[in-house]
Amino acid sequence: MNANKRPAVADPISVETAIQTRFSARAFLPKPVPRETIERLLELASRAPSGTNTQPWNVYVLQGASRDELVRKVCAAHDAMYANPALAAEYREEYDYYPEKWVSPYIDRRRENGWSLYGLLGIAKGEKDKMHAQHQRNFRFFDAPVGMMFTLDRIMGRGSLADYGMFLQNLMLAARAHGLHTCPQAAWNGFAKIILPHVGAGEHEMLVCGMSLGYLDEKAPVNSFHTPREPVSGFTRWLE
């Protein structure tokens, strides 16, 4: 289509609503998501920009038995690591999602996020079993019927992770337009040695993150948890 003939956004409020209502859902209904809907979401996501149009994303969609078997495998590894922390050395992320050393204001936001969520769920500081169980909800896709794994060819540079972020955001906003919710999850990254063979990824692929996709469980208290955002004035400098 000629760029000059592309229509303007006729309903900007809907675009804003999709952005404003996107959040990391942590409880989903078992209601299945039609394959054609997932395909449409991925088609829309693929309109994300990428450096020289490299389109570096690879997506693996897990449903049914494949999803359930991956849940079983990773939850078993997660439980084993909890029982024997020395096993953590076997499960390393391939890239540093978080910094090695935390500093303010990032550590403050992280702590606020964690304790606000645990507080809502009635998990007190030091209740390690409950924390472990809640963390494991990640590896059950928060009961969502659709799990996704995203990989990147290791030959690509760090800029492709920026491209990937735009692809993932497109996917999450498209999901909102179709009445669905998501939860992007870096929690899976440490279990790449289990996940990549399970989905049939090649040796050249690196796990970027996972994602839960489905219909929101509106009755679940955990879904009332929405994280705060810094005001524009807090992260913007105007230069004239």
Q: What are the pLDDT digits (tens) for 126-156?
A: 999 999 999 999 999 999 999 999 999 999 9
> In what helix (H) or strand (E) does residue 214 lie, and over which residues does it extend?
strand 205-214
Question: Confidence band (pLDDT; 50, 70, 90) for 8?
Answer: confident
pLDDT at 182: 98
Mean of pLDDT values over 80-84 = 97
Residue 2 has pLDDT above 90, yes or no: no
pLDDT at 122: 96
Q: What span, in angstroms and rounded, lies between the C-alpha atoms of 184 and 193?
A: 19
pLDDT tens, position by position, 29-56 = 999 999 999 999 999 999 999 999 999 9
pLDDT at 155: 97
Residue 4 has pLDDT above 80, yes or no: no
Residue 79 has pLDDT above 70, yes or no: yes
Residue 5 has pLDDT above 80, yes or no: no
Domain ranges of the chain: 25-95+139-225
Q: What span, in angstroms and rounded, lies between the C-alpha atoms of 222 and 215?
A: 14
Residue 208 has pLDDT above 70, yes or no: yes
Q: What span, in angstroms and rounded, lies between the C-alpha atoms of 92 and 88?
A: 7
pLDDT at 91: 95
Query: Which of 131, 147, 129, 127 has its CA nearest to residue 139?
Result: 147
pLDDT tens, position by position, 209-224 = 999 999 999 999 999 9
pLDDT tens, position by position, 173-189 = 999 999 999 999 999 99
Query: What is 25-95+139-225's CATH number?
Result: 3.40.109.10
pLDDT at 54: 98
> How many CB atoms sit inside 10 A of residue 62's CB?
21
